[in-house]
């Protein structure tokens, strides 16, 4: 049997060879782009874009398919290669985050590193936890279908308590899925003491933890240990949900506890015109650059429902890290707040 390649296929194969030589582990389209930084995700050896995509907002809002398809395809074409979602981001039957992502980009699976989570097979947004091995296995199988793929690169235990980690069944279910070729790396996603226990257990190759200008505990409490063990670190809620956009205190406590910190923190980029400035020195730019300037962070997964956002956020990060003085000023303002040592997440 002979095969003849189209010009497009030949070019794709040539580019794949070049990309493979240049940057092993970076998907083809991503490697062709410039102005995008990729970081090695700890001992996984995956290379992920410094600005990733967080799939919570699209599920929360039930964003329409066409919009998500535009948003994700455009971002992948420009260098995004890291997509995060979860088992419980959205209504199971209508515009669930996993389904939206699978429909949007399942046909170009080789272009991105894909992560999902387990622990809430039948619950929405972190409610109704079930940490049994059977439920975890069923949830992974469902994610594969929704995401139109035969493997997930990372599957996180989605915030289980320390006792569940210690019991071991949930972790064992991930190991079993790995042996079956359904997942490549087990991970843990959560905050504070729970992430610390996950790091201590050494059972996970990647952790997803909360880090932003409002919540900085992870810098002292978790990042040094992750670095010592060469565990991948993904920053969630990196913009602090961009709560400065709300003129009134939001009703949702999740947002409100950050909103309450805007005034006391007195960050210069939360003042006047800089609040709405879309560039690197405005509120969104500075908040994201704070996270990406933090040593030991490999990717910041920004949630968005807006086509063009990834490009904007990537451009902001591309100008480089904050200066030491800028970075330390943000640390100092945060440390000066009463109660700043408590974990919010
Ligand atoms: N326990 C867990 O495992 C857990 C918990 C929370 C989050 N996560 C993960 O982390 C991801 C990120 O967290 P998140 O989505 O809660 O919060 P986030 O990324 O801090 O903020 C998302 C919000 O920021 C807005 N935004 C993005 N870029 C902006 C910009 N340049 N200027 C102004 N606003 C901007 C988005 O609005 P637009 O739609 O207008 O862009 C969206 O409403 C989630 O999507 C999810 O994947 C995991």
User: What pLDDT is recorded for position 337?
Assistant: 92
Counting Cα atoms < 13 Å in the Cβ hemisphere of 256 gives: 6
DSSP strand E in the chain: where? Answer: 38-40, 47-49, 51-54, 82-84, 113-118, 152-158, 183-190, 206-210, 232-236, 299-303
Residue of 83, 127, 158, 237 best suited for mutating to test ligand 1, as the one with most atoms within 8 Å of CB = 237
Q: Is 316 in the pocket of ligand 1 (CB under 6 A)?
A: no
* Predicted confidence (pLDDT) at residue 231 exceeds the cutoff of 90: yes
Distance from residue 181's CA to the centre of ligand 1 (Å): 30
Task: List Cβ neighbours of 244 (8 Å cut-off, separation of 6 or more).
Answer: 259, 262, 270, 275, 283
Measured CA to CA, the distance from residue 75 to residue 314 in angstroms comes to 10
Measured CA to CA, the distance from residue 155 to residue 162 in angstroms comes to 18
Q: Is 111 in the pocket of ligand 1 (CB under 6 A)?
A: no
* Predicted confidence (pLDDT) at residue 171 exceeds the cutoff of 50: yes
Statement: 38-336 belongs to CATH 1.10.640.10: no
Measured CA to CA, the distance from residue 167 to residue 156 in angstroms comes to 16
User: What pLDDT is recorded for position 123?
Assistant: 83
* Predicted confidence (pLDDT) at residue 24 exceeds the cutoff of 80: no
Residue of 51, 57, 306 best suited for mutating to test ligand 1, as the one with most atoms within 8 Å of CB = 57
Determine what percent of the chain is predicted with pLDDT higher than 70. 89
280 pLDDT band, cuts 50/70/90, is very high
Determine what percent of the chain is predicted with pLDDT higher than 90. 85
Q: Is 294 in the pocket of ligand 1 (CB under 6 A)?
A: no
Q: What is the largest CA-CA distance in the chain?
A: 73
Query: What mean pLDDT is predicted for residues 187-213?
Result: 97
Please tell me the residue having the least CA distance from ligand 1 atom 35: 242
User: What pLDDT is recorded for position 14?
Assistant: 37
User: What pLDDT is recorded for position 46?
Assistant: 98
Query: What mean pLDDT is predicted for residues 260-278?
Result: 95
Task: List Cβ neighbours of 344 (8 Å cut-off, separation of 6 or more).
Answer: 191, 210, 214, 215, 217, 257, 258
* Predicted confidence (pLDDT) at residue 295 exceeds the cutoff of 80: yes
Closest CA to 330 of 278, 279, 292: 292
DSSP-derived 3-state class of residue 342: coil
User: What pLDDT is recorded for position 345?
Assistant: 43
* Predicted confidence (pLDDT) at residue 277 exceeds the cutoff of 50: yes
Please tell me the residue having the least CA distance from ligand 1 atom 48: 236
Chain centroid to Cα 91, Å, comes to 20
Please tell me the residue having the least CA distance from ligand 1 atom 15: 303
In tens, the pLDDT along 113-156 reads: 999 999 999 988 778 899 999 999 999 999 999 999 999 999 99
**Average pLDDT, rounded, for the chain:** 90
Give the β-pairing of 47-49 and 51-54: unpaired
Residue of 188, 302, 315 best suited for mutating to test ligand 1, as the one with most atoms within 8 Å of CB = 302
32 pLDDT band, cuts 50/70/90, is low
* Predicted confidence (pLDDT) at residue 30 exceeds the cutoff of 60: no
25 pLDDT band, cuts 50/70/90, is very low
18 pLDDT band, cuts 50/70/90, is very low
Least confident of 17-21, 195-199, 221-225, 327-331: 17-21
Residue with tokens 């003085």: 325
Give me the residue spans of the domains in the chain.
38-336
Which atom of ligand 1 is the closest one to the Cα of 156? 3
* Predicted confidence (pLDDT) at residue 16 exceeds the cutoff of 80: no
For residue 32, which phi and psi values (nearest 5 degrees)? -75, -20
92 pLDDT band, cuts 50/70/90, is confident
User: What pLDDT is recorded for position 26?
Assistant: 53
Query: What mean pLDDT is predicted for residues 76-89?
Result: 98
Query: What mean pLDDT is predicted for residues 283-305?
Result: 98
Q: Is 55 in the pocket of ligand 1 (CB under 6 A)?
A: yes
* Predicted confidence (pLDDT) at residue 258 exceeds the cutoff of 60: yes
* Predicted confidence (pLDDT) at residue 13 exceeds the cutoff of 60: no
User: What percentage of the chain's residues is helix, strand, coil (to nearest 5)?
Assistant: 50, 15, 35
């Amino acid at each position: 049997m002979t095969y003849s390649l189209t010009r497009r296929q030949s070019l794709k194969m040539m580019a794949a060879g070049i990309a493979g030589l240049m940057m092993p582990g970076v998907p083809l389209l991503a490697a062709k782009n410039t102005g995008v930084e990729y970081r090695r995700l700890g001992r996984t050896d995956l290379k992920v874009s410094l600005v990733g995509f967080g799939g919570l907002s699209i599920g929360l809002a039930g964003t329409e398919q066409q919009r998500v398809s535009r948003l994700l395809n455009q971002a992948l074409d420009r260098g995004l290669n890291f997509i995060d979602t979860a088992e419980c981001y959205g209504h199971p039957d209508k515009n669930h985050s996993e389904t939206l992502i699978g429909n949007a980009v399942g046909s170009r699976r080789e272009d991105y590193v894909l992560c999902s989570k387990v622990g809430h097979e039948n619950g929405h947004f972190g409610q109704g936890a079930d940490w049994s091995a059977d439920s975890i296995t069923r949830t992974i199988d469902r994610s594969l279908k929704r995401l139109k793929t035969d493997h997930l690169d990372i599957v996180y235990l989605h915030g289980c308590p320390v006792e569940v980690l210690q019991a071991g069944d949930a972790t064992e279910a991930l190991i079993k899925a790995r042996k079956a070729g359904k997942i490549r790396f087990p991970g843990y996603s959560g905050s504070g003491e729970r992430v610390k226990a996950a790091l201590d257990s050494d059972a996970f190759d990647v952790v997803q933890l909360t880090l932003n200008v409002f919540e900085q505990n992870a810098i002292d409490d978790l990042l040094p240990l992750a670095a010592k063990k060469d565990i991948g670190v993904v920053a969630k809620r990196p913009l602090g949900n961009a709560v400065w956009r709300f003129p009134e205190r939001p009703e949702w406590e999740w947002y409100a506890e950050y909103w309450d910190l805007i005034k006391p923190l007195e960050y210069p980029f939360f003042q006047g015109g800089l609040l709405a400035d879309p560039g690197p020195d405005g509120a969104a730019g500075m908040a994201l650059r704070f996270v990406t300037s933090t040593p030991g962070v490999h990717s910041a997964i920004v949630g968005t429902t807006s086509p063009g956002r990834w490009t904007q956020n990537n451009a902001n990060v591309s100008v480089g890290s904050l200066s030491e003085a800028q970075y330390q000023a943000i640390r100092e303002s945060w440390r000066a707040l009463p109660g700043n040592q408590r974990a919010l997440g």
